[in-house]
């Protein structure tokens, strides 16, 4: 057994995960809004509630990452966590060691161990939601590095080959211009649709219209798939993952699983694409499952 927590901006979800990947228990509480102390208290209370009589290891997935060696959080959209020693504070309160990892990394770890990419030797995961997170797993282990940013390709610049698909430069929340995230996040799709058809719709609404054969929405989804494929080819040409698993709200758009491989064939440095582009096996639970998987089965 292991405990996994997904510490999000609005909710904290905690699970007790069996060896084999079954969720034995699940608890969900609201995240105290913008209050670091209360957030640490809630996290520790939830862990204590889940702990069986013989304590099991604990992992936490959260937006952002730990800056080493100081151990302070950065890049979290739950901004009260930034510059705070989250891991140290939780460990002090609990009295034992825990592990913390970026939520996109937890997502792909869960999919690579128990989910869509369980049969793959290597898997890249992309969360296409409000923003765009990424992570890479090789031989069931996360690839991490000294900057704590492995997989954060969403803040690379969009390829010049798809620059013409946007009407004007897009400023990313990170301060850079034309980050991949500005086109392939849900907000990016909304903006592309607005630029072309002067209509403001959520990504899910555009997807629904496209399924009902609305030609404007179908064009926007097609443009989006091309932007995503041309952005992903950097990953494919560099580390050649066996599988790419899409997650987040935008991953519900079924057309992507035909269109992205098609557009990848246009730009990959090969005659054919053998990379599998897969929908996720787990929904909301992937973050907590992946956080538990930061520890091996015991
Ligand atoms: Zn950016």
Express each pLDDT in 151-195 by its tens digit.
Answer: 999 999 999 999 999 999 999 988 999 999 999 999 999 999 999
Structure confidence at residue 65 (pLDDT): 85
Mean pLDDT check: name the lowest of 6-10, 88-92, 204-208. Answer: 6-10
CA 171 to ligand 1 center in whole angstroms: 8
Run of H or E residues at 241 = none
Q: Is residue 297 part of a domain?
A: no
pLDDT score, position 135: 96
Q: Please, are residues 148 and 68 in contact by the beta-carbon 8 Å criterion?
A: yes
Compute how many other C-beta atoms are within 10 angstroms of the C-beta atom of residue 145: 8
147/129 same-domain check: yes
pLDDT of amino acid 67:
83
Q: DSSP letters along 190-218, please?
A: HHHHHHHHS----HHHHHHHHHTT-HHHH
What is the per-residue pLDDT across 215-271, written as a single tens digit (0 to 9) for each? 999 999 999 999 999 999 999 999 999 999 999 999 999 999 999 999 999 999 999
Please give the Cα distance from 5 to 101 (Å, whole number).
10
Domain assignment present for residue 41? The answer is yes
Q: How far is the CA of 218 from the centre of ligand 1 (A)?
A: 27
CATH number at residue 28: 3.30.420.40
Task: Kindly state whether residue 298 falls inside one of the protein's structural domains.
Answer: no
Task: Please tell me whether residue 49 adopts helix, strand or coil conformation.
Answer: helix
Mean pLDDT on 45-69: 93
Same domain, 244 and 137: yes
- Quick: pLDDT tens for 185-219: 999 999 999 999 999 999 999 999 999 999 999 99
**Mean of the pLDDT values across residues 84-110?**
96
Q: Which residue has the higher pLDDT, 148 or 154?
A: 154
Q: Distance, CA 175 to ligand 1 centroid (Å)?
A: 6
Domain that holds residue 33: 2-106+284-292
- pLDDT value at 148 more than 90: no
Residue in the structure block whose two tokens are 């765009």: 132
- Answer whether residue 98 shows pLDDT above 90: yes
288 and 207: one domain?
Answer: no
pLDDT score, position 115: 96
Whether 77 shows a pLDDT value over 90: the answer reads no
227 in the same domain as 94: no
Å from CA of 185 to ligand 1 middle: 11
* Total domains present in the chain: 2
SS3 132: strand
Give 33's pLDDT tier (boundaries 50, 70, 90).
Answer: confident
For ligand 1, the distance from its centroid to the CA atom of residue 127, given in whole angstroms, is: 14
Residue 7 placed within a domain: yes
What is the whole-number distance in angstroms between the Cα of residue 50 and the centre of ligand 1?
Answer: 36
**Inside any domain, residue 113:** no
Contact 282, 250 (CB under 8 A): no
Is residue 60 situated within a structural domain? yes
CA–centroid distance, residue 173 to ligand 1 (Å): 6
Give the Cα separation of 62 and 201 in Å (integer): 28
The answer, as to whether pTM is greater than 0.85, is yes
Ligand 1 centroid, distance to 157 Cα (angstroms)? 8
Same domain, 273 and 125: yes
Instruction: Report how far ligand 1's centroid is from the alpha carbon of 125 (Å).
Output: 18
The whole-number pLDDT of residue 216 equals 98
Q: Are residues 148 and 254 in the same domain?
A: yes
185 & 250 share domain: yes
Confirm whether 112 is domain-assigned: no
Residue 63 is predicted with a pLDDT of 86
Question: CB under 8 Å to 232, separation ≥6 — which residues?
Answer: 124, 126, 244, 260, 264
* Whether residues 257 and 177 fall in one domain: yes
- Asked if 96 and 191 sit in the same domain, the reply is no
Q: What is the pLDDT of residue 284?
A: 81
- Better-predicted residue by pLDDT, 68 or 89: 89
Give whole-number Cα distances, 65 to 46, 70, 82, in Å.
21, 12, 9
Same domain assignment for residues 90 and 134: no
Buried b (16+ CB within 10 A) or exposed e, 146-175: eebebbbbbbeebeeebeebbeeebebeee
**Same-domain check for residues 48 and 179:** no
CA of 180 to the centre of ligand 1 (A): 7
In a domain, 261, yes or no: yes
Task: Identify which of 265, 254, 274 has the alpha carbon closest to the alpha carbon of residue 229.
Answer: 265
In angstroms, rounded to a whole number, what is the distance separating the alpha carbons of residues 13 and 237? 36
What CA–CA distance (Å, rounded) separates 227 from 13? 32
How many angstroms does the Cα of residue 78 sit away from the middle of ligand 1?
16
Mean pLDDT for the stretch of residues 270-277: 96
Average pLDDT over every residue of 85-89 = 96
Residues 125 and 264 in one domain: yes
In DSSP terms, which residues pair with 29 in a beta bridge?
Answer: 12
């Amino acid at each position: 057994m292991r405990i996994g927590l997904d510490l999000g901006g609005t909710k904290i979800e905690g699970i007790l995960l069996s060896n084999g990947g079954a969720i034995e228990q699940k608890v969900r509480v609201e995240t105290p809004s913008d209050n670091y102390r209360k957030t640490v208290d809630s996290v520790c209370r939830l862990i204590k509630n889940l702990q069986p009589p013989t304590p099991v290891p604990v992992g936490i997935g959260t937006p952002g990452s730990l800056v080493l060696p100081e151990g302070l959080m950065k890049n979290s959209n739950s901004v009260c966590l930034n510059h705070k020693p989250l891991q140290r504070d939780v460990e002090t309160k609990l009295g034992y060691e825990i592990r913390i990892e970026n939520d996109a990394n937890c997502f792909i770890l869960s999919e690579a161990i128990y989910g869509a990419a369980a049969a793959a030797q290597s898997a890249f995961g992309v969360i296409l939601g409000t923003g765009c997170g990424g992570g890479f797993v090789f031989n069931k282990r996360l690839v991490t590095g000294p900057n704590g940013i492995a997989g954060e390709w969403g803040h690379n610049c969009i390829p010049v080959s798809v620059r013409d698909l946007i009407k004007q430069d897009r400023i990313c929340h990170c301060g850079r211009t034309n980050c991949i995230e500005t086109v392939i996040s849900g907000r990016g799709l909304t903006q592309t649709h607005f630029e072309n058809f002067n209509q403001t719709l959520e990504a899910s609404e555009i997807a629904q219209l496209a399924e009902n054969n609305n030609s404007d929405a179908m064009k926007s989804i097609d443009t989006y798939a091309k932007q995503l494929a041309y952005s992903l080819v950097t990953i494919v040409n560099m580390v050649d993952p066996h599988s790419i698993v899409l997650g987040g709200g935008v991953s519900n758009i079924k057309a992507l699983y035909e269109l992205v491989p098609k557009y990848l064939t246009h730009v990959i440095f090969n005659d054919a694409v053998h990379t599998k582009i897969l929908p996720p096996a787990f929904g909301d639970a992937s973050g907590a499952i992946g956080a538990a998987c930061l520890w091996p089965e015991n």
